[in-house]
Structure 1
Amino acid sequence: MNATLAAVALSLLSAVGYATAAVAQERLASRSGPGSGLLRLLGHSAWWWAVGLNAAAALLHVAALKYGSLTLVQPLGALTLVAAVPLGARLAGRRVSRIEWRGTVLTLLGLAALLLAAGGTPPHETLSLPEALGVAAVALVLVAALVRRAGRPGARPGLRFATSSGIVSGVASALTQTVTVSVTDHTQGPAPGWRTAVVALLVAGFAVGGLLLSQTAYRGGLGAPLALVTLANPVAASVIGLALLGERLQGGAVGVLLAAVGAGAAARGVILLTRATGAAQGPPRPADVPAPASAPEPPRALRVSVRPELPTTQPRTVTPRPQSAPASSVPPAVPRSAAPGPDRAPASAPLLR
């Protein structure tokens, strides 16, 4: 029981660290713009603060994995989103909304149910080297498929990068537990040093990859990407723990039902927190909305000045031009005085009866 309390306390501190780092990453991504690369981020002090916070949270997470199983520690990662909600509200200068409170309560109740069903004994099983390499290969294939489809129209790349980050972080946690147990627990004899070194290299690569993927995902905002990271991480780690590390849920069928109900409540709470976070961001500010482009001014040579013509009081007199054609082909012009009127016919035309 003391090990379980230690794992929960360390996971809580780790979640606060991850939440603070996520808020810092999102603010940096919103200021940097979609076209900024990693080299530009390296020049910002805020980036290194976020890296330091992630490193501190990762160390606390490693310590929690020493005292608790993956099925116990990883679901507590949902506390990252719970901690990010009041922190984001404080930085935005607003109060926590009613929907955010509902999401927080549902998430906490779901996590409490998961804690009751999860195994509370310290972990002793580790991944073998073929298992670790196989898990890493499967994760890389999934991430490659998600990232490759991120550029398609309507693919919502932020959510795909966030899912990839959650998968990578969950695999890194499973590999981290293998390294931690191999180094500290010698009940089954000393572990081969080369196997621990290879798994440690995998942990480092997956940890850096998860950080970069989450940084890319936060360009579209914090709510939905952080929620997907929070959900994909424990799912990936719990699958590894239940399938390869021999972890089991307590209470038999009742424990499985309790865990399912808790997972559903926690997922519902995370969805509410996501919607509340997206609504709190609101529409873009007027300064961020580009001004409508004005119509191009026509060239000077094409400008036409239209002036209204004033009516004249006197009728215009049209003087016929002299005709150069022979008289036989063109009839002579009729003078205005000899023009046919309504009561007389032309002189040269017969009367029509």
Structure 2
Amino acid sequence: MHSNLLAVLFALASALTIAWGTVVRHRIAEEAPADGSLKGSPFWNAVSRPLWWAGTGTALLGYGLQVVALGFGTLLVVQPILVLSLMFTLPLSARYDGRRVTFPEMFWAGVLTVAVAVLVLLGRPIAGEPQPPLERWVPALALGAALLITIERVAQRQIRREKALLLGIVTGALFGYVAVLSKAVVDIFIHGGVLALIFNWEGYALVLGATLGTIVQQYSFNAGALRNSLPAMTITEPIVAFTLGYAVLGEQFRVDSLVGWFFMGLALTAMIISTVVLSRKGVG
């Protein structure tokens, strides 16, 4: 059943649960020693703590809600809503830090909300193909792998702030691919059932991408303050997902005038700016 309203509601629930999981796992990563030993590594330190598993479980629940949302609506509807996880992260992070959310943060949160609403309501996205041909996937996957491996290698040679930024870009891009693969897997399951999932590669690629994304995300959290990695992470994901949604899945915004595209571009710009500002103001 196609319903953009249900897609928006489940995407909002997903954004809220993902926000809590992100804050918890970052708090743990901040406490991780970086002495070069296996026990001192950020990922080992994180997975050895029950609270990390609670945060990760919440993030997985959020991902499950995202999958349900994708079952009801297009990627171009769900993905902008997920950006609002940043707006939910702000008060949660402020509570952990024992401070109040400021007026500028509330203002930019309002800008972000309006921008997302414009993208969804004015864009009125239409669905693409349930199972795109392989020739659309191969260039997107090959180019993405080459770029992300290069960025990750460069990140390893940087100091903490730049390293966190670059790893945040890699994390966001990986989850952008995960979002597109999730939509493809949902469509395959709806049209072909469990057997179709077993005999198609998209499900296995989804598991691999989600695993890599989780690991790189934990290292990006450990590399520096959340304000260094979260803006890149939060903005890269929808940009990559939008691009792949158009190029691979064949989804489109239903905008047919220059004025309409102007406001869509304005909304996307406002979403990017407000996300960066909120990330840097609200999370330390």
Q: Compute the TM-score of the two structures, normalised by the length of structure 1.
A: 0.73
* Aligned equivalent of 1:182: 188
Structure whose alpha-carbon radius of gyration is higher? 1
The reply on whether 1:218 has 2:218 as its aligned counterpart is no
* Aligned equivalent of 1:8: 8
Residues 160-309 of structure 1 mapped to structure 2, 5 A cutoff: 160-185=166-191, 195-196=199-200, 198-219=201-222, 220-253=224-257, 254-277=259-282, 281=284
Distance 1:2 1:136, change over 3 A: closer
Distance 1:67 1:118, change over 3 A: farther
Aligned partner (choices 86, 97, 117) of residue 102 of structure 2: 97
The reply on whether 1:51 has 2:56 as its aligned counterpart is yes
Residues 309-320 of structure 1 mapped to structure 2, 5 A cutoff: none
Q: Could you say what the CA RMSD is over the residues aligned between the two structures, in angstroms?
A: 2.3
* Aligned equivalent of 1:30: 30
Distance 1:185 1:91, change over 3 A: same
The reply on whether 1:158 has 2:164 as its aligned counterpart is yes
Per-residue CA distance 1:8-38 (angstroms, 9 max, x = gap) = 1111111111111110111000111334323
Q: Distance in 1 between matches of 2:18 and 2:197?
A: 30
1:148 aligned partner, one-letter code: R
- The unaligned stretches of length 5 or more in structure 1 are 282-353
Q: Distance in 2 between matches of 1:71 and 1:33?
A: 40
Distance 1:105 1:224, change over 3 A: farther
Q: Is the 8 A contact 1:22 1:50 kept in 2?
A: yes
Distance 1:255 1:224, change over 3 A: farther
How far apart are 1:260 and its partner, in Å?
A: 0.6
Number of residue pairs aligned between Structure 1 and Structure 2:
276
Question: Helix, strand or coil: the match of 2:130?
Answer: coil
Deviates more, 1:127-136 or 1:269-278: 127-136
Residues 21-170 of structure 1 mapped to structure 2, 5 A cutoff: 21-35=21-35, 36-37=40-41, 38-121=43-126, 124-153=129-158, 156-170=162-176
Q: Is the 8 A contact 1:124 1:185 kept in 2?
A: no
The reply on whether 1:20 has 2:20 as its aligned counterpart is yes
Q: Distance in 2 between matches of 1:231 and 1:191?
A: 35
Per-residue CA distance 1:97-123 (angstroms, 9 max, x = gap) = 122112101101111110123334455
1:181 aligned partner, one-letter code: D
Q: Is the 8 A contact 2:167 2:216 kept in 1?
A: yes
Per-residue CA distance 1:289-321 (angstroms, 9 max, x = gap) = xxxxxxxxxxxxxxxxxxxxxxxxxxxxxxxxx
Q: Is the 8 A contact 1:168 1:207 kept in 2?
A: yes
How far apart are 1:181 and its partner, in Å?
A: 0.5
- Using CA pairs under 8 Å that are at least 6 residues apart, name the structure with larger relative contact order, 1 or 2: 2
Distance 1:110 1:34, change over 3 A: farther
Deviates more, 1:33-42 or 1:234-243: 33-42
Q: Distance in 2 between matches of 1:110 and 1:224?
A: 23
Question: Helix, strand or coil: the match of 1:95?
Answer: coil
Q: Is the 8 A contact 1:127 1:175 kept in 2?
A: no
Q: Distance in 1 between matches of 2:239 and 2:101?
A: 28
Runs of 4+ deviating beyond 4 Å:
120-124, 189-195
Question: Helix, strand or coil: the match of 2:84?
Answer: helix
* Aligned equivalent of 1:306: none
Per-residue CA distance 1:80-100 (angstroms, 9 max, x = gap) = 110000111112111101221
Q: Distance in 2 between matches of 1:147 and 1:121?
A: 34
How far apart are 1:193 and its partner, in Å?
A: 5.2
Distance 1:259 1:24, change over 3 A: same
Structure with bigger helix share is 2
- The unaligned stretches of length 5 or more in structure 2 are none
